[in-house]
């Protein structure tokens, strides 16, 4: 009489197998999320630089940068006022504009040939972006 092998996919995962599966998924999540958080951070000595750190704190922890780029960004916002009815007729809509200025500085750190260079972008004195570049020199 021939032996018939049946696929195991019809079996449900229960008991110990379900616990193993859940543990593996949790471990994978715990490994992935800290790496995502560290992707926008920089360690200087024992301290971490992350988004929201001030320029003064970065300079105190990491020292003076190798290169500094400065610029000012100007933004414009507008508000439209509805048409107004007057005894002489309807006035057209009026727009009010106001400008804003953002001070931007980009600091580049070169920590030598064994470490990646780092670029830190500040807006109004606060870290908003950290990028890893090529190895230093």
pLDDT digits (tens, 9 = 90+) for 81-126: 666 677 777 766 666 656 789 999 999 999 999 999 999 999 999 9
Q: What is the end-to-end Cα distance of the chain in Å, rounded? A: 74
pLDDT band at 69 (very low <50, low <70, confident <90, very high): very high
- DSSP annotation of 102: E
The structural domain count of the chain equals 1
Look up the domain containing 89 and give its range.
Answer: 42-135
Residue 112 and residue 127 in contact, taking contact as beta carbons nearer than 8 Å = no
In a domain, 16, yes or no: no
In a domain, 56, yes or no: yes
Half-sphere exposure of 23 (CA within 13 A, CB side): 6
pLDDT digits over 32-58, tens only? 444 444 458 999 888 899 999 999 999
CATH of the domain at 97: 3.30.1450
Rounded Cα gap, residues 12 and 9, in angstroms? 8
């Amino acid at each position: 009489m021939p032996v018939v092998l049946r696929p195991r996919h019809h079996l449900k995962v229960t008991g110990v197998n379900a616990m193993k599966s859940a543990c593996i998924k949790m471990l994978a999540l715990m490994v992935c999320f800290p790496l995502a958080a560290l992707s926008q951070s920089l360690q200087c000595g024992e301290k971490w630089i992350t988004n929201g750190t001030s320029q003064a704190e970065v300079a105190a922890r990491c020292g003076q940068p190798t290169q500094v780029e400065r610029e000012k960004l100007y933004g414009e916002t507008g508000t439209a006022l509805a048409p107004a009815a007057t005894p002489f007729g309807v006035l057209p809509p009026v727009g009010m504009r106001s400008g804003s200025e953002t001070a931007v500085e980009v600091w580049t750190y070169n920590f030598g040939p064994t470490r990646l260079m780092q670029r830190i972008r500040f807006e109004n004195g606060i870290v908003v972006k950290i990028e890893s570049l090529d190895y230093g020199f």
